[in-house]
Amino acid sequence: MGRKAEYSEKPKKGPGRKARKQGPPVFRKKSFAPMEEEDKKLSHRQKQRFVKREQKKVVQKAKLQEKRAKGAQKQPQVRRKTAYNSDSEPEEEVEAQEASSDEEVPQLVPAPINTKSAAPKGFTDDNDAWLKPKKGKKLPEPESEDEEELEEDSEDENGLEAAESAEEDEEEEAEDDDEDDEEEDSDEDTAQVGKLADLSDDEANSDDDFDISGDEDAAEAESDEDDDDDDDDDDKLPIERANKKLKKREAKDAQLAEEEMQMTVDHQDVFQLPTEEEKTEELTLQQVQQRIKDVTLVLSDFKKYRQADRSRGEYIELLRQDLCLYYSYNEFLMEKLMDMFPLTELMEYLEASEVARPLTIRTNTLKTRRRDLAAALINRGVNLDPLGKWTKVGLVVFNSTVPLGATPEYLAGHYMCQGASSLLPVMALAPQENERILDMCSAPGGKGSHIASIMKNTGTLFANDFNRDRVKAVQANFHRLGIVNAIISCEDGTKFRNIITGFDRVLLDAPCTGTGVVSKDPSVKTTKSEVDVQRCYNLQRKLLLSAIDCVDAKSKTGGFIVYSTCSVLPEENEWVIDYALKKRNVKLVDTGLNFGVNGFTNFRQHRFHPSLNLTRRYYPHTHNMDGFYVAKLQKFSNTIPLTKEQQEEDEKQLDAAIEAEAASAAESATEGEAEKETEAGDKVPRKLLGKRAGKPSLTDIEQDLKKKKLEESKTKYVAKVFEKPVKAPKQPKPEKPQEEKAALSNGNGSSKAEGKASKKRQQELQKVKKTPETDQKVPKSESPSKVSKPTVNGGASPATPERKQNLKKSATPKTPSKLVNAPHEDKVPLLEGKPIKKQNNLKKKQVGQLKKSKASGKEGKKQKFKK
Amino acid sequence: MKRLSDERAKILFEKLSKYIGTNVKQLIDRPDGTYCFREHKDRVYYVSERILKLSECFGYKQLVCVGTCFGKFSKTNKLKFQITALNYLAPYAQYKVWVKSSFEQQFLYGNHIPKTGLGRITENAGQYQGVVVYSMNDLPLGFGVLARSTTDCKTADPLTTVCFHQSDIGEYIRTEETLF
Domain co-membership, A515 together with A433: yes
User: By CB neighbour count within 10 A (0-12 exposed, 13-18 middle, 19+ buried), where does B160 fall?
Assistant: middle
What local confidence, expressed as pLDDT, does residue A708 receive? 60
Pick from A571, A541, A563, A519: nearest CA to A332: A571
User: Tens of pLDDT along A512-539?
Assistant: 999 989 998 889 999 989 999 999 999 9
Nearest to A487 among B55, B140, B180 (CB): B55
Nearest to A479 among B68, B135, B140 (CB): B68
Q: Which residues of A touch B85 (CB under 8 A)?
A: none
Q: Does A320 reside within a domain?
A: no
Q: Which candidate in A404, A438, A479 is best for mutational testing of the B interface (most B CBs within 10 A)?
A: A479
Query: What does the mean pLDDT of chain B come to?
Result: 91
Residue B75 or A649, more confident: B75
Report CB contact under 8 Å: A491, B51.
no
What local confidence, expressed as pLDDT, does residue A135 receive? 53
Report CB contact under 8 Å: A408, B135.
yes
Domain co-membership, A629 together with A650: no
Backbone angles phi, psi at A338, to 5 degrees: -65, -30
* Separation of alpha carbons A537 and A547, rounded Å: 15
* Separation of alpha carbons A862 and B61, rounded Å: 9
3-state secondary structure at position B41? coil
Domain co-membership, A103 together with A177: yes
Q: Which candidate in A440, A489, A503 is best for mutational testing of the B interface (most B CBs within 10 A)?
A: A489
pLDDT of B54 > 80? The answer is yes
* Separation of alpha carbons A98 and A5, rounded Å: 70
* Separation of alpha carbons A422 and A361, rounded Å: 11
Q: Which residues of B touch A489 (CB under 8 A)?
A: 58, 62-64
Domain co-membership, A651 together with A539: no
The whole-angstrom distance between B147's CA and the closest CA on chain A is: 24
The whole-angstrom distance between A457's CA and the closest CA on chain B is: 10
* Separation of alpha carbons A800 and A686, rounded Å: 8
pLDDT of A776 > 90? The answer is no
Pick from A198, A194, A192: nearest CA to A256: A192
3-state secondary structure at position B63? strand
User: Tens of pLDDT along A785-805?
Assistant: 443 343 334 333 344 444 444
Report CB contact under 8 Å: B65, A484.
no
The whole-angstrom distance between B158's CA and the closest CA on chain A is: 25
Q: Which residues of B touch A475 (CB under 8 A)?
A: 64-65, 69, 179-180
- Exposed e or buried b per residue across A806-817, where buried means at least 16 C-beta atoms within 10 angstroms of its C-beta: bbeebeeebbeb
User: Tens of pLDDT along A198-218?
Assistant: 444 444 444 444 444 444 444
* Separation of alpha carbons A36 and A525, rounded Å: 79
User: Tens of pLDDT along A380-406?
Assistant: 999 999 998 999 999 999 999 999 988
Report CB contact under 8 Å: A500, B140.
no
Domain co-membership, A467 together with A414: yes
Residue span of the structural domain in which A523 resides: 359-635
Closest A-chain CA to B178: A472
Paired strand residues for B130: B145
The answer to whether A363 and A393 are in contact (CB under 8 A) is yes
Q: Is A694 marked as a binding-site residue?
A: no
Domain ranges (residues) in chain B: 2-89, 95-174
Q: Which residues of B touch A503 (CB under 8 A)?
A: none
Specify the number of domains making up chain A: 3
Q: Has domain B95-174 been given CATH number 3.30.300.30?
A: no
Pick from A825, A819, A823, A824: nearest CA to A804: A819
Report CB contact under 8 Å: A488, B84.
no
Paired strand residues for A211: none
Q: Is A110 marked as a binding-site residue?
A: no
Residue A417 identity (one-letter amino acid)? C
Q: Does A245 reside within a domain?
A: no
Q: Does A240 reside within a domain?
A: no
* Separation of alpha carbons A152 and A187, rounded Å: 22
Q: Which residues of B touch A500 (CB under 8 A)?
A: 54, 57
Q: Which residues of A touch B31 (CB under 8 A)?
A: none
Rama region for B78: left / alpha / beta (φ>0; ψ in -120 to 50; rest): beta
Q: Domain ends where: A235, A266, A283?
A: A235
pLDDT of A436 > 90? The answer is yes
The answer to whether A653 and A722 are in contact (CB under 8 A) is yes
Residue A798 identity (one-letter amino acid)? P
What local confidence, expressed as pLDDT, does residue A269 receive? 53
pLDDT of A323 > 70? The answer is yes
Closest B-chain CA to A470: B177
Percentage of the residues of chain A whose pLDDT score is greater than 90: 29
The answer to whether A847 and A665 are in contact (CB under 8 A) is yes
Q: Could you tell me how many residues make up chain B?
A: 180
Q: Does A33 reside within a domain?
A: no
Catalytic residues of A: 566
Is the ipTM, as predicted for this complex, more than 0.90? Answer: yes
CA dist B52 → A486, A488, A786, B1 (Å): 10, 12, 33, 8
Domain co-membership, A807 together with A705: yes
- pLDDT band of A284, cuts 50, 70, 90: confident
Residue B1 or A11, more confident: B1
Domain co-membership, A545 together with A625: yes
Domain co-membership, A621 together with A657: no
pLDDT of A808 > 60? The answer is no
The whole-angstrom distance between A847's CA and the closest CA on chain B is: 21
Quote the radius of gyration of chain B (alpha carbons, Å). Answer: 17
Q: Which candidate in B38, B58, B64, B171 is best for mutational testing of the A interface (most A CBs within 10 A)?
A: B64
Q: Which residues of A touch B179 (CB under 8 A)?
A: 472, 475-476
Taking any CB pair shorter than 8 Å as contact, residues of chain A touching chain B are 376, 405-406, 408-409, 411-412, 436, 460, 462, 468, 471-476, 478-480, 482, 484-491, 499-500, 858, 861-862, 865
Q: Does A298 reside within a domain?
A: no
Report CB contact under 8 Å: A487, B84.
no
User: Tens of pLDDT along A460-472?
Assistant: 999 999 999 999 9
Domain co-membership, A743 together with A627: no
Q: Is A509 marked as a binding-site residue?
A: yes
Q: Does A485 reside within a domain?
A: yes
Nearest to A487 among B51, B141, B172 (CB): B51
Domain co-membership, A601 together with A561: yes
pLDDT of A184 > 60? The answer is no
A172 Cβ partners below 8 Å, 6+ apart? A100, A154, A157
A531 Cβ partners below 8 Å, 6+ apart? A661, A664, A665, A668, A725, A729
* Separation of alpha carbons A105 and A95, rounded Å: 10
Q: Which candidate in A380, A411, A456 is best for mutational testing of the B interface (most B CBs within 10 A)?
A: A411
Q: Does A827 reside within a domain?
A: no
The whole-angstrom distance between A407's CA and the closest CA on chain B is: 9
Q: Which residues of A touch B53 (CB under 8 A)?
A: none
Pick from A59, A58, A68: nearest CA to A160: A68
Closest A-chain CA to B136: A408
Domain co-membership, A524 together with A653: no
CATH topology of domain B2-89: Nuclear Transport Factor 2; Chain: A, (3.10.450)
User: Tens of pLDDT along A497-517?
Assistant: 889 999 999 999 999 999 989
pLDDT of A418 > 60? The answer is yes
Report CB contact under 8 Å: A487, B179.
no
Nearest to B108 among A411, A436, A479 (CB): A411
- CB contacts < 8 A (A, B): 92
Query: What does the mean pLDDT of chain A come to?
Result: 69
A83: Cα separation from own chain's centroid: 61
pLDDT of A194 > 60? The answer is no
Nearest to B54 among A484, A487, A858 (CB): A487
* Separation of alpha carbons B28 and A620, rounded Å: 50
Residue A161 identity (one-letter amino acid)? E
User: Tens of pLDDT along B28-49?
Assistant: 888 888 999 999 999 999 999 9
Average pLDDT over residues B126-148: 92
Range with the lowest mean pLDDT among A10-19, A481-490, A663-672? A663-672
Domain co-membership, A548 together with A688: no
The answer to whether A710 and A748 are in contact (CB under 8 A) is no
Quote the radius of gyration of chain A (alpha carbons, Å). Answer: 48
The whole-angstrom distance between B12's CA and the closest CA on chain A is: 19
Q: Is A492 marked as a binding-site residue?
A: yes
pLDDT of B68 > 50? The answer is yes
Q: Which residues of B touch A436 (CB under 8 A)?
A: 54
